[in-house]
Amino acid sequence: MSNLTTKIKLYCEANSKTANFTENVLVWDNSDGSGQYIKLWNVSGLAQPTTDQLATYESTGDDEEADNVVRGARATAYNKVKDQLDQLYHDMTAEKLDATGEWYKAIKKVKDDNPKD
């Protein structure tokens, strides 16, 4: 089940708006077991979504959150940019700007090890 903040983000994006969770949207949880809810909604030009409207983003929200996990794992696994640039330089020097280059092989391994569904 996707987070309320994810569904709000998707709702806003679908309406060409941005949810800023420190300025115009506040999600709250009273810790009473009823879960999170929208405490403050101040997105200019966009009405606060209903529970039914947010429910339509459940599946997309699940996909978004799963992709975020993969993106995080990939970001951790990738070499530092300076090291990637060095790999690219050496691949260029060796005329290996294709799937035989070291940079490509390193990136492919990270993507293979952390696939998106």
Q: What is the DSSP string of 10-38?
A: HHHHHTT----TTTTEEEEE-SSSS-EEE
User: What does the pLDDT read at residue 102?
Assistant: 96
User: What does the pLDDT read at residue 116?
Assistant: 85
- Which pTM value belongs to this model? 0.73
Q: Quick one: tokens of 42?
A: 């101040």
Task: Return the domain boundaries, the chain.
Answer: 1-77, 78-117
**Phi and psi for 43 in degrees, rounded to 5?**
-90, 110
pLDDT per 10-residue tile (average), the chain, 117 residues = 96 97 95 94 97 97 95 96 97 96 97 91
Cβ 106 vs Cβ 79: under 8 Å? yes
